[in-house]
Chains A and B, each alone.
Chain A
Amino acid sequence: MNTILEKEFLSPQVFRMKVEAPEIAKKRKAGQFIILRVNESGERIPLTIADADPAAGWIELVVQAVGATTKALSEKKAGDSIIDMAGPLGRPTHIEKHGTVVMVGGGIGIAPAHPIAQAMKAAGNTVISILGGRSKELVIMEDKMRAASDEVIITTDDGSYGTKGLVTDAIQKLIDGGRKIDMVIAIGPPVMMKFVSLLTKKYNIPTQVSLNTIMIDGTGMCGGCRVTVGNESKFVCVDGPEFDGHLVNFDEMIQRLGMYRDLEKESLDHACKIGLDR
């Protein structure tokens, strides 16, 4: 059982939660994730750790309520508890001095990008952060990202904030402007990571992506999270979650993410009928 200490909506669908997890808070490094179950009949879902305070003993999660489980989580309040939480899982991000690092965060992908930006900056990199969202309200954590970056560029699909356009437009502009980029780290919707990787491949810029696939155990036991990287099948839970974006088969990954689309809808409809906390 992990107690929720704070909860706040950042936009109508996006919320952040501080959860009591002293052992995980001590151990986690940037890039790692946890797996949680909301209640007794709940499924196990992976969520990236956005922040942690080892002294205070909490970790922070930033979640978009889209499916039955994330919606059930969104109904929890400070003082409620989460029945199961395991972590930190996955390999931490490899932090080193590359030179100029571009951090691309799309939507709630900005949350896990934040500790990586902090660590990259601490390692002596110049950090340019590109924050993208469909609209203004989906661009989250701007202040925190500004504090962790040397420069912040904001893009929205609808132009309601920052520059109208996609994160790839902003990367292209940096390249066209003659900025030397040594490393791109992209975290966000799979389609965004796919197009970031396609673009940077053209310019041979090393690119890391952080994948969030369907998982159950998170220890390598089930293989449900497998993706093709290069010509090999890799498990996101133990081999990842970060991979060389130029080698990931995103189309296959996106297809696998949709495996339960119909059933997820059914699950959500059912949960709405009987109460999300089934």
Chain B
Amino acid sequence: MENTKLTNKERLAIPPQKMPEQEPSERIHNVNEVPLGFTEEMAVAEAERCLQCKNAPCVKGCPVEVNIPVFIQFIAERKFREAVDAIKVTNVLPAVCGRVCPQEEQCQKPCTVGKSLKSVDRAVQIGKLERFVADWEMAQNTAVTPEIKTETGKKIAIIGCGPAGITVAADCRREGHTVTIFEALHKPGGVLAYGIPEFRLPKKIVGREVDNLVRMGVELRANMVIGKIYTIDELMENGYDAVFVGTGAGLPVFLNIPGENLNGVYSANEYLTRANLMQAYSFPNTATPIARSKNVAVFGGGNVAMDAARTALRLGAKNVYLVYRRSRDEMPARKEEIHHAEEEGVQMNYLQNPVRFIGDDKGWVSGVECLLMELGEPDDSGRRRPVPVKGSEFVIPVDTCIVAIGNASNPLIPHTSPDIKVTRWGNIIADEETLKTSKKGVFAGGDIVLGAATVILAMGQGRRAARAINEYLATGQW
């Protein structure tokens, strides 16, 4: 094979392949995906950059421990089928993870290539390669339904069809168990459906992954709000042997400043749900409205804030200000997302903090008063604490505001199952390795346990929970 002839020096000399993207001026007028994907040639060239390190530091950086060197080697050999199968051993959602994982913080961070070239930005682009083979598989239309073991007759209820629930469903179904997913909304996917925008994660990808589950024999029940239609105890009385709670961090945190209930002030959850799940970008061809904004302020510095800001641009806003109380270096959003937002014209208002919303005579928000901040001593998180500058008040004229400062845990399940212990923030307490809760037969994972985290961490917990559920159902030992 040609690539085995390359020396490490030659590999390091191959430039990182640049994935083509929609031009910023064009993409702000549509909701289509921004990065367009590698060609086969680009993917093979990128794969040839991998040094095939024996100790594989990248694998240790991956929450679901994808066998990265192996799948990359297959790409280098143009064995794309084998590559995608190698990923799917541990990751049921490669097309999703290839797009939304923070690889620069995970697999790509310890990459030897990046370290040798002295920049994580020059590491092997593992995520983009993962996306390439997942998309390749979709294009071939050859997705293989994994083998299902002999039916065990044991029943598992999964609450929430987000990344954690989908992972548990796949891993438990493969073991031969009967699996039902209960989803509160009308569409499956959880945050992949309602939260992450089309331009970052096309919904047909989520749909296809869920279709795969259904093909495996997983039953999906939409419109089922567990805690209301059935409590967990009732599910168990109805014959479910184990329950996995993956209900996510669905309770928006607001700023708690005056004027927050004025018209035009949204939680990021509401804004994104209207735009994505309800497809308000097609209004009035779809029935759900969303504000027609000119000047928008988004509060927060995470990926959700970036998603909201970029969505507002696509919905036609002239000015979108991202108001963040610290500086660019402290922003929790992925660099790539910040970069995309900047390219598209989101105006970054660093070191500013809102203190009150101002309304017009019709009850609509017309401005937001902010204070300038400066960075003081580091706080518990290790980031420098923002301190208000006295007398620095100023007003940003806006007609829409989006609060994207995080999510607390949704109380529906804990309220109706008081025997499941929660932290004082309402997150379900689950064993780190087995994801067992304080209630026998009940496991929990994803954001309801982690607080607002990432898709891949939720999937990592889902994997471990599935392993523990399969063991529990095999042995009966709690």
- Interface residues of chain A, those whose CB is within 8 Å of chain B, are 23-24, 27, 37, 41-44, 68-69, 83-89, 216-224, 226-228, 233, 238, 252, 255-256, 258-260, 263-264, 266-267, 270-271, 278
Contact = CB atoms under 8 A, between A and B. Distances in A.
Given A43-B278, A88-B229, A259-B263, A219 B287 contact: no
- Interface size grouping (class) on chain B: 35 or more
Interface stretch (B32-40, B108-116, B266-274, B453-461): B266-274
Contact of B269 (A24, A221, A255): A221
17 contacts: A27-B230, A42-B286, A43-B286, A68-B287, A85-B223, A86-B184, A216-B277, A218-B225, A220-B412, A221-B194, A221-B250, A221-B252, A224-B267, A255-B362, A259-B264, A267-B283, A267-B287
B222 interface: yes
Contacts of B263: 255-256, 258-259
Contacts of A218: 225
B278 A44 contact: yes
B267 to A, nearest CB: 4
Contacts of A87: 225, 228-229
B410 A221 contact: yes
Interface string B272-286: 011001110011111
B24 interface: no
A271 to B, nearest CB: 7
Nearest to A24: B229
A266 B284 contact: yes
B274 A271 contact: no
B261 A226 contact: yes
Contact of A89 (B225, B251, B260, B277): B225
A106 to B, nearest CB: 23
Contacts of B411: 220, 238
If over half of A's interface residues share one DSSP class (helix, strand or loop), that class is named, otherwise mixed; here it is: mixed
B8 interface: no
A223 B269 contact: yes
B254 interface: yes
A255 B223 contact: no
A270 B283 CA distance: 10
A260 to B, nearest CB: 4
A86 B223 contact: yes
Q: Identify whether the interface residues of B are mostly helix, strand, loop, or mixed.
A: loop
B225 A219 contact: yes
Interface in B365-417: 410-412
Contacts of B277: 216
Contact of B284 (A216, A217, A267): A267
A112 to B, nearest CB: 17
Contact of B185 (A68, A217, A255): A217
Contacts of A263: 283-284, 289, 292
B22 interface: no
B332 interface: no
Interface of B: 184-186, 194, 222-225, 228-230, 250-252, 254, 256, 260-261, 263-264, 266-267, 269-270, 273-274, 277-279, 282-289, 291-292, 362-363, 410-412
Counting chain A CB atoms within 10 Å of each CB, the highest count among B186, B254, B266, B412 belongs to B186
Given A219-B184, A220-B412, A238-B411, A233 B228 contact: no
Contact of A238 (B273, B286, B412): B412
B184 to A, nearest CB: 5
A266 B279 CA distance: 16
Contacts of B284: 263, 266-267, 270-271
Contacts of B282: 41
B359 to A, nearest CB: 9
Contacts of B251: 220-221
B94 to A, nearest CB: 27
A259 B186 CA distance: 24
Contacts of A267: 283-284, 287, 289
Contacts of A68: 287
Nearest to B250: A221
A216 B412 contact: no
A257 to B, nearest CB: 10
A70 to B, nearest CB: 11
Contacts of A219: 184, 225, 250, 410, 412
**Most-contacted residue by chain A among B184, B279, B292, B362 (CB, 10 A):** B184
Contacts of A85: 223
Given A44-B278, A89-B228, A217-B194, 19 more contacts: A24-B229, A41-B285, A42-B287, A44-B288, A83-B186, A86-B184, A86-B223, A87-B229, A216-B274, A216-B278, A220-B412, A222-B269, A222-B270, A224-B266, A224-B270, A233-B256, A252-B261, A266-B284, A271-B284
Nearest to B266: A224
A269 B286 CA distance: 13
B203 to A, nearest CB: 14
A160 B62 CA distance: 73
Nearest to A37: B186
A270 B250 CA distance: 33
